[in-house]
Amino acid sequence: MPTDPKRPATGIVHLGLGAFFRAFGCVYVADAMAASGGDWGIVGVSLRSPSTRDALRPHGWSYASVSLAPEGENIRDISVLNDVLVAPEDPAAVLNAMADPGVRIVTLTVTEKGYCHNPATGALNPDHPDIQADLANPLPASAAGYLVRALQMRRAAGHAPFTVLSCDNLPDNGKLVRGVVLDLAHRIDPELAGWIAAKGAFPSCMVDRITPATTPEDVARIAALTGRAGGAPVMHEPFSQWAIDDVFVDGARPDFAAAGAEMVSDVSAHEQMKLCMLNGTHSALAYTGYLAGHQTIAATVADPVFAAYVRRLWGEIMPAVTPPDGVDLRAYAEALFDRYANPAIQHRTWQIAMDGSQKLPQRLLGTIDANLDAGRSVEALCLAVAAWMRYVGGVDEAGASIDVRDPLAEGLAEISAACDGPEDTVAALLGVREVFPADLAERLRPPLTKAALRLWSKGARAAVTEDHQ
């Protein structure tokens, strides 16, 4: 563990060191330590590629956090990382870092698919190749494997477990990660699972900051501005919101509240609002906008028909959402619109379109389910699901191929290729049980078929245009 005497000692290990956590969690931890002290330095872990580690190392793990407002940008130096490890290069080093008794929290941003769960049910998928590998080998492949094996080491050494804090956009993310960890632990050692269940803590939280992927142009521009070559800057909007269930092992955590986070006793209303109102419309705009030829969310909502479409979506979503105390959903939606329209944020529709099979259930399908139950409109929401179906077919409206990134991409493409027209495609893709539970698939079929017929025949831009048909 690192060593710079000026830096706080390590108290957090973070799994999945992408741009989001460096633009979000690291900034809160830096602010919390600036306000209230504490040894909450972070060891970051890249679960796949060495590129972030290699870019950060020459800068002593510091990087520029670039806030992009319509009126200009603000660059801040973040120096909260003490080390960066690359898991596939040295899994034992990652486990040792996590087992260190000074570490009290393991945070995760491993994306939806990183939990190796079934997106429709939230349960661990025991057939996932990484989980199979983790059952056969004590050096882990999956995030859940790292958590279980490191907790096993801590138990054997007589240390308390760390708190596991998932920062991914999943409903009840704490409960979800607890479920997959306990399931995997149980398969390895039932007593270990009992110890984790009794002594561990898995707070849920709602995270929110739009963080588009950093481009090579961003790196060059920030290097020119800061006079530091290379590096790994992160680009993000000024807005940031973090609501966290305040259940940590021994209460050990940074003073997140001093950094502006909301420490709450039940974060579920925050989570549901954000996943449905923000992520749901983000995905809807990503698929329909991409098909209509829009590269970014800002460009999509600058197109008046999409601006009207996203407001119709919010009109369908709001009745299904119970907001946190004191939050006005209409004002929340208008603030979201301004955030989407921020021209300084180049958030690609293609980036948000990634991994739709893992995102659709919590972003769109829950709302559709609730609206169908209550007899409310699902028209705009169904267009979004139809656009996802069109998108995963892999061919855009001009006949060009789409680079579909999704763990189920291959299977979805095969299903689509065997179909003839929208009705057939809807019927076949509704059979993908990882995404659509059987009862929902049946009820969804008529309105979704209608949306797909409209989308296929008119094209995305005309399909989202309201024509009072």
| Residues within the interface to ligand CS2 (CB under 6 A) | 169, 208-210, 278-279, 282, 351-352
- For ligand CS2, give the closer residue by CB, 48 or 58: 48
- For ligand CS2, give the closer residue by CB, 112 or 255: 112
Minimum distance of ligand CS2 from residue 114's CB (angstroms): 14
Determine the length of the chain: 469
Of residues 41, 39, 134, 139, the one with CA closest to residue 88:
139
Residue 440's contacts (CB-CB under 8 Å, 6 or more residues apart) are 365, 368, 369, 372
Token pair of 451, please? 């949306």
Minimum distance of ligand CS2 from residue 274's CB (angstroms): 7
- For ligand CS2, give the closer residue by CB, 356 or 447: 356
Transcribe 24-46 into DSSP letters.
Answer: THHHHHHHHHHHH----EEEEEE
Minimum distance of ligand CS2 from residue 300's CB (angstroms): 13
- For ligand CS2, give the closer residue by CB, 222 or 354: 354
CA dihedral 157, 158, 160, 165 (to 10 degrees): 30
Minimum distance of ligand CS2 from residue 260's CB (angstroms): 15
- For ligand CS2, give the closer residue by CB, 202 or 242: 242
Minimum distance of ligand CS2 from residue 402's CB (angstroms): 16
- For ligand CS2, give the closer residue by CB, 68 or 184: 68
- For ligand CS2, give the closer residue by CB, 253 or 282: 282
| Beta strand pairing call for 10-15 and 105-108 | parallel
Between CA 309 and CA 326 the distance in angstroms is: 27
Q: Which segments of 342-365 does DSSP mark as H helices, in order?
A: 349-353, 356-360
Minimum distance of ligand CS2 from residue 209's CB (angstroms): 5
Q: Which residue is nearest to ligand CS2 (CB)?
A: 282
8 Å CB contact between 15 and 54: no
Q: Residue 81 to residues 8, 77, 151, 311: CA-CA distances in angstroms?
A: 10, 12, 22, 40
Minimum distance of ligand CS2 from residue 14's CB (angstroms): 17
Strands laid side by side in the 72-78 sheet:
72-78, 63-69, 234-236
